[in-house]
Amino acid sequence: MKMNRMPVSQILLMRFKAHDPVDQAVIDLTSQEDSVSIAQRAYPDIDYSVQLEYGEKIGLGNRKYQLTETDF
């Protein structure tokens, strides 16, 4: 599924407004342009997926999401 690109600042704003701390959407959206996510850029030697999987496992949230457009 191809999603529209948006500025990282808008993605981060969406992240902070989210009620779900396990945020797969931020990883997916930031890796659209060149297949490198914001997590991989910040910590290239750490597998971020382990944290997302564990967060979901202990009930912090869900990695499934649906993006909706909104006016800011």
What are 16-60's pLDDT values in tens digits? 444 454 578 888 888 888 888 888 888 899 898 888 888 888 888
Query: If pLDDT is split at 50, 70 and 90, which confidence band does 69 have?
Result: confident
> Greater confidence, 6 or 36?
36
State pTM to two decimals.
Answer: 0.58
- Would you call 58 exposed, middle or buried from its count of C-beta atoms within 10 A (0-12, 13-18, 19+)? exposed
CB 30 within 8 A of CB 7: no
Among candidate residues 38, 63, 41, the one with its CA nearest the CA of residue 53: 63
What Å distances lie between residue 11 and 28, 36, 59, 64, CA to CA?
10, 15, 23, 17
d(CA 48, CA 72): 29
